[in-house]
Structure 1
Amino acid sequence: MSVDQLSSNALTKEQAYALVDAVSENDELALTVSAHENEETGEWVFEATCDSPPDLESFSELARQVLGGDVTFTVEAIDPEINWVAKSLEGLAPVIAGGFYVYGSHETGPIPDGLTPMKIDAAQAFGTGHHETTTGCLEAIETLLTERTPARMIDIGTGTGVLAIALAKRLEAVILATDIDPIAVTTTVDNAVENGVGEQIDAIEATGLDHPEIAARAPYDLVVANILAGPLTDLAPGVGGITQKGGTAILSGILNTQADGVIAAYQNAGFALKDHLKRKDWTTLVLERA
């Protein structure tokens, strides 16, 4: 099989990891994806290994959607004998967010005391823990759990299942995890079992809120959705409809420049803004159903 390496440099760390997570969400674009720092320049490099030839147009369009501008990609043939899966894990150091410790199976160091560990591997679906949207959600979850104990929860656009698993690790309740991508659903199930919470995660394939199981379990006292600003805005009325009064919505995947529009949509849906976390260029919102 002929394999190419597609790369883009001169990125910030946030941009590189945003591309990693976005490409991971589409398993047809790349075999593996990774991000690493150029030690000489301090710039960050995005890399993807692809069947030849890579779909440059799709990569460019995705970069415009995620980063808000054009990105230049270069392509070169690579040695298929190299273990590119292992290479894709280089630079993905463990992440500490709130009281959670997110690490990959390649990590051999000890787990720090006092943190809740979650083993989540890269290049399977969105959510390795490295992107500011994920860390923002984990921090918001940590804060929420110091205030109250939710009982009925849904994670919309679960990706790798990292947020649902975080909740399951801390609570005894069952969490409904949904995603439009069947690969993400399978990944979530596998990760839940790997992390010892398989019986607490019910993962289903669903487009937005369009699934009878979502309606059957409503109302929820906690809704988590780390997707993108556009879909979040479209889902605002529906999220308002499935969230009980006094319930919480934790939303991310939102650029700081997009936050006001998302806030307005959820205020119209009956939510009040409780907290606004900014991590680099990205926003996490905590809203309460009035």
Structure 2
Amino acid sequence: MILLSANGARSLIEEAAQILENIGGFGAVSWHECERRQFRLEAYCEDEEVAQSGVGALAIMLPEINAKFAPLEDNDWVRMSLEGLPPVNAGRYRICGTHDKRKTRNGRLEIIIDAGEAFGTGHHGTTRGCLLALDKLVNANKRPKHVLDVGTGSGVLAIAAAQVGAKCIGTEIDANAARVAVENMKINHTSSAVKVYVANGIKKAGIRKAGGYDLVFANILMKPLVKLSWDLSASVKKGGHLVLSGLLATQEPSIKRAFGNKGMKLVNIYHQDVWSTLTYQKI
């Protein structure tokens, strides 16, 4: 097992984590605060070429941080990964690993997500932005009954929606990630409320819903969001909401252009450091 690590400001470390997620090949990518205003990135893989690619990409795209990698003893990496994932609070939700289960819930709805092959432990600004968007809708008495989570990853957003009473569909292009999502549904006792499909897009039978969904999440990346803008907009019922993320704040104009002429009204934006989450309503 190989550990890739880097230290730096939170915004840089969050962006570095997204870059490594996009590269792929890392079994777990996490970050945490190691000292005041200093954050540490840790990513684990089994292939040295993957680690070299990660270090190279970070050197080109984020020269401000000094990423490096080194081999680990096989029996140490899981422990180190878990220790690097402190619980995250997002509105009514508390996201944590099995190692922190029920230590300090403080009345929040708890979601158990361990670091693994699928994106979405709640630590990334895009995931947290989506959770805060859902929390705001529920607080405004707009509790969704039918939810679609496009690119569900670990399933964290579908689980969160199920915990407030929704029936959910999760789609995932990666079969391994879909398998992880299904396991996370079992761990969080939401299997009866969530179905996960391996699919590229949302046109597969079983995903389409007559009349549209009350809420659609699409926490993916800018280019696929733009490509799917017609399909995503059409999947929302009148008065329903569409939450978009996986975006840098600098990419907001492209998303606004793509969704501005499709019967959608921008009603809320969350900024988590360099990341953006946009909530639209179907008008």
Same fold (TM over 0.5): yes
Shift of 1:109: 5.5
In structure 2, C-alpha distance between the alignment counterparts of 1:78 and 1:91, rounded to whole Å: 15
Matched AA of 2:126? T
Matched to 2:95, the amino acid is V
Matched residue, 1:6: 4
For residues 25 and 199 of structure 1, what CA distance do their matches in structure 2 show? 31
Aligned residues: 281
Instruction: Write the mapping of 1:111-130 to structure 2, written as runs, cut at 5 A.
Output: 111-130=104-123
Superposition pairs of residues 243-254 of structure 1, within 5 angstroms: 243-254=236-247
What SS is found at the alignment partner of 1:276?
strand
Post-superposition Cα deviations, 1:93-151, rounded to whole Å, max 9, x if no partner, equal 11110111111101155343331111111123111011111111111101111332322
In structure 2, distance between residues paired with 1:24 and 1:190: 20
Q: Structure 1 CA distance, aligned partners of 2:171 and 2:273?
A: 27
Q: 1:22, 1:188 → 2: CA distance?
A: 22
* Code of the aligned partner of 2:109: T
The letter of the residue matching 2:275 is W
Where does residue 170 of structure 1 map in the other structure? Answer: 164
Once the two structures are superposed, what CA deviation does each residue of 1:199-239 show, in whole Å capped at 9, x if it has no partner? 00100011122412222555112111111112111111111
Counterparts of 1:108 and 1:90, CA distance in 2: 13
User: Which amino acid in structure 2 is aligned with residue 59 of structure 1?
Assistant: G
- Where 1:268 maps in the other structure, the secondary structure is coil
Q: Determine if contact 1:33/1:46 at 8 Å carries over to the other structure.
A: yes
CA distance 1:24–1:255, change in 2 (3 Å): closer
- Which range moved further: 161-170 or 223-232? 223-232
Task: Report how far residue 246 of structure 1 moved.
Answer: 1.5
| CA distance in structure 2 between the partners assigned to 1:62 and 1:176 by the alignment | 34
Displacement of 1:91 = 2.9
Task: Report the equivalent of 1:152.
Answer: 146
Q: 1:239 & 1:160 partners in 2: Cα distance?
A: 20
Q: How much identity, in percent, do the aligned residues show? A: 33
SS at match of 1:214: coil
1:205 and 1:218 mapped to 2: Cα distance?
A: 22
Query: Mean Cα displacement is larger for which, 280-289 or 52-61?
Result: 52-61
Correspondence for 1:48 among 33, 38, 43: 43
The letter of the residue matching 2:178 is V
Residues 226 and 29 from structure 1, CA distance in 2 versus in 1: closer, same or farther, beyond 3 angstroms? same
Q: Confirm or deny that 1:16 pairs with 2:13.
A: yes
SS of equivalent to 2:197: strand
Distance 2:61 2:216 in 1: 27
- Kept in 2: contact 1:24–1:124 (CA 8 A): no
**Per-residue CA distance 1:13-67 (angstroms, 9 max, x = gap):** 24434544664577x613443334444x853332333324232564268659xx9
- Match in the other structure for 2:26: 30
The verdict on how the C-alpha distance between 1:94 and 1:159 changes in structure 2, with shifts beyond 3 A counting, is same
Question: How far apart are the structure 1 equivalents of 2:252 and 2:153?
Answer: 22
Q: Does 1:222 align with 2:215?
A: yes
Q: What is the aligned partner in structure 1 of residue 71 from structure 2? A: 77
Secondary structure at the counterpart of residue 100 of structure 2:
coil
SS in 2 for 1:215: coil
TM superposition shift of 1:176: 0.3
Q: Output the CA distance in 2 between the equivalents of 1:170 and 1:256.
A: 29
Aligned partner letter, 1:104: G
In the alignment, which residue of structure 1 is the partner of 2:128?
Answer: 135
Structure 1 counterpart of 2:91: 98
TM norm structure 1: 0.86
Taking the aligned partners of 1:60 and 1:24, their CA distance within structure 2 comes to: 13
Deviation at 1:242, TM superposition (A): 1.6
Gapped regions of structure 1 (runs ≥ 5): none
Give the aligned CA root-mean-square deviation in angstroms: 2.6
Match of 1:278 among 268, 271, 278: 271
Q: Give me the whole-angstrom Cα distance separating, in 2, the residues matched to 1:20 and 1:228.
A: 14
CA contact (8 A) 1:103 1:120 kept: yes
Q: Which amino acid aligns with 2:41?
A: F
